[in-house]
Structure 1
């Protein structure tokens, strides 16, 4: 299937599920973060092909492992299969960006072909992503991060498998869980209060995801700000919450002073 055909399928599903999207975006509970998800985004046979193209052991992926997170990521589309490249690029096409922008009422959104902090993601047994707010900007610090798009492709993924997406309340005490269900697209707003995470993976097989971000020169709250990806612990993880405050402060100040940022060498260079 061509990239153009994948684009048309995505736009068609967005149009058909507009009513549900608008309702979810405006009436969510348990979190102040706006979001929506839609199921059955693409034909099953195509999604199976996408899933099978992921390397089952995560070969070639960059492994992150710390008290903050444990996962594997990949953004070099030139070194991936055609189908993985196409499904990732499809969400970056102007028509798709414009369609999603109009649905959520955000103006002047732009894609990010470099896939800074985006691309392909694999999480294996015991992998996790602690509650965090995303880096505020793109790799060049010119645009604010506004939307996070997560497309899940692992067949028969259930709540009991772990590795599910979580959106938190302001105090990061209670999560709203969205299952990383096969053929499900989740779109969430990203700002300096949008705490989210991924629960630890319990299943033996990998949770595979295609991740994209949209940016704009317009700040989400109309004010200028900057922060690195900032982590805290889960409820009950008091030491991670304490260490997180110090860790976030130090990394934020180093990033501001040196204009550095993790992951800048892992972007897509096509």
Structure 2
């Protein structure tokens, strides 16, 4: 039985009455988890919805889609739900932004007043190909368009029969990057939900090595609160190197941030533009 029941096998139709309390019994477990608040929930959605996602997973980038191929993000693609050809898939993502689902996320995390992202900035379907990875990082903290603060990630995996040796595990690291505290195999219909802060270091740094060349597929959803203020510093994704590895420093982002911090805006803008030509 799915953790989140649906009144329909073809869509995510959550009973609002069920959503009022679903997940409240998990809040203490979520808040006590190390290295930062999180939870892993198997059989998260009705299996029919997972199968539908797999059967209709996009094959080509959309106008808002993005492809990454650099040291920190190798062979990764993201697909914006608004451009999905399939109406049922678009409806599924819109349900993730609707009150019943958001309420369940609030119940589990204990964070009230969560705001979904109608723009799906960075969210949607994600896919990483063979040899690809996503280095350990802390996420961007500010949705500039809505001027809200990022608070919760919800990741739902779509990979059947995935084994540990295939790579792609989600790793959770402690604040000073001295210990990998948890490793999660991205099995189909497994959800990982966690609080995002400047120290919630996570990623899937182990390259995908599926013997049949299958890609690592997932759904990524981000939720915010209206707690952003001018005293906070807006940061993009902050990559961190694991000790004893060949992880590469993201000098492009680091340089841009240093120029912003130490130069007045009138000098920082041209300096950052010039630096971007040489540092990637």
TM-score by length of 2: 0.78
User: How far apart, CA to CA, are the structure 2 residues paired with 1:187 and 1:167?
Assistant: 12
Greater RCO (CA < 8 Å, at least 6 residues apart)? 1
Report the equivalent of 1:267.
Answer: none
Report the equivalent of 1:190.
Answer: 196
Question: CA, structure 1 residues 158+223, in 2 after alignment: closer, same or farther (shift >3 Å)?
Answer: farther
Match runs of 1:1-270 below 5 Å: 5-8=11-14, 18-19=24-25, 21-29=26-34, 31=35, 33-55=36-58, 60=62, 61-70=65-74, 71-140=76-145, 142-175=147-180, 176-198=182-204, 199-203=206-210, 204-219=213-228, 224-237=232-245, 240=248, 243-244=249-250, 246-252=251-257
Deviation per CA, 1:222-241, whole angstroms, max 9, x where unpaired?
9622211111222223672x
User: How far apart, CA to CA, are the structure 2 residues paired with 1:116 and 1:235?
Assistant: 31
Question: CA, structure 1 residues 99+43, in 2 after alignment: closer, same or farther (shift >3 Å)?
Answer: closer
In the alignment, is the contact (CA less than 8 A) between 1:53 and 1:83 conserved in 2?
Answer: no
Question: Which of the two has greater helix per residue?
Answer: 1
Larger CA deviation: 173-182 vs 83-92: 83-92
Q: CA deviation at 1:250?
A: 2.2
Q: CA deviation at 1:251?
A: 3.2
Q: CA deviation at 1:219?
A: 4.9
Question: CA, structure 1 residues 52+235, in 2 after alignment: closer, same or farther (shift >3 Å)?
Answer: farther
User: How far apart, CA to CA, are the structure 1 residues paired with 2:156 and 2:20?
Assistant: 14
TM-score by length of 1: 0.81
Q: CA deviation at 1:9?
A: 7.4
Question: CA, structure 1 residues 200+239, in 2 after alignment: closer, same or farther (shift >3 Å)?
Answer: closer
In the alignment, is the contact (CA less than 8 A) between 2:81 and 2:89 conserved in 1?
Answer: no
